[in-house]
């Protein structure tokens, strides 16, 4: 009688253990593309910095680098200067951004400053020139695009401006940002 009770109690456990028998294993099924990082910004206050996603593509990251304040009855914002935005880019991703898997292709800078250069006579209309404290000749394409996109979106809200980078090695790199951001996200 005791064995019968034990068998009766053990039967549901055995049934559960055997329930998975006969089910064949399947391979991992890919569904969709890589994860994306959303960004939201407050025009005039947040700046867009471009960092690398884990698979290598660039993505914009909003940073509150501008200033905002209330003066009298009007609310005013001032965007950060291009120099300040590029200096923030060189400082690398924040801890939270690193936690999200973002990295940079730019070298760390230990000295030097970022300067927006005056427009030269005969320069391309709408273009900007930026002196950066690194050698531009040996920069990877991703690093160059990080600088160009960040400078372009800092200078013009739609990122359409042509950017000239003047490096410490005397070399010059020209470029336009090859990424476009939907107008509602800036």
Q: What is the model's pLDDT at position 21?
A: 58
The yes-or-no verdict on residue 101 having pLDDT over 60 is: yes
Distance CA 101, CA 51 (A): 10
Q: What is the average pLDDT value for the chain, to the nearest integer?
A: 76
How many residues are recorded in the chain? 186
Distance CA 130, CA 116 (A): 5
| Among 157, 173, 176, residue whose Cα is nearest residue 165 | 173
Q: What is the model's pLDDT at position 111?
A: 80
| pTM of the entire predicted model | 0.69
DSSP-assigned letters across all residues of 124-178: PTT-EEEE-SS-STT--HHHHHHHHHHHHHHHSTT--S-EEEE-TTS-EEEE---
Alpha helices (H) in the chain, listed in sequence order? 2-18, 82-90, 95-99, 141-155
The yes-or-no verdict on residue 47 having pLDDT over 70 is: yes
pLDDT band at 68 (very low <50, low <70, confident <90, very high): low
Q: What is the model's pLDDT at position 23?
A: 58
pLDDT band at 89 (very low <50, low <70, confident <90, very high): very high
From residue 136, alpha-carbon distances to 35, 106, 130 in Å are 31, 10, 11
CA 9 to chain centre: 58
Q: What is the model's pLDDT at position 157?
A: 79
pLDDT per residue as tens digits for the range 137-164: 889 999 999 999 999 998 887 888 999 9
- 7's tokens: 């068998």
Q: Among residues of the chain, what percentage have pLDDT more than 90?
A: 34
From residue 57, alpha-carbon distances to 1, 105, 124, 148 in Å are 70, 11, 29, 14
The yes-or-no verdict on residue 77 having pLDDT over 70 is: no
* Sign of the alpha-carbon dihedral angle for 110, 140, 158, 96: negative
Q: Which is higher by pLDDT, 35 or 9?
A: 9
């Amino acid at each position: 009688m005791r064995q019968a009770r034990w068998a009766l109690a053990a039967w549901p456990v055995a049934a559960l253990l055997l329930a998975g028998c006969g089910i064949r294993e399947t391979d991992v099924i890919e569904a969709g593309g890589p994860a994306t990082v959303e960004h939201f910004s407050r025009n005039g206050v947040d700046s867009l910095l471009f960092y690398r996603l884990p698979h290598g593509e660039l993505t914009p990251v909003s940073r509150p680098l501008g200033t905002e304040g209330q003066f009298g009855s009007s609310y005013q914002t001032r965007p950060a200067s291009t120099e300040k935005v590029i200096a923030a880019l060189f400082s690398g991703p924040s801890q939270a951004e690193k936690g999200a898997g973002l990295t940079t292709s730019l070298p760390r800078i230990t000295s030097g400053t970022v300067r927006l250069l005056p427009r030269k006579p005969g320069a391309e209309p709408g273009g900007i020139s930026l002196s950066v404290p690194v050698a531009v000749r040996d920069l990877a394409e991703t690093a160059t695009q990080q600088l160009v996109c960040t400078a372009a979106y800092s200078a013009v809200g739609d990122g359409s401006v042509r950017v000239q980078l003047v490096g410490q090695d005397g070399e010059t790199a020209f470029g336009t940002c090859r990424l476009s951001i939907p107008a509602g996200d800036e």
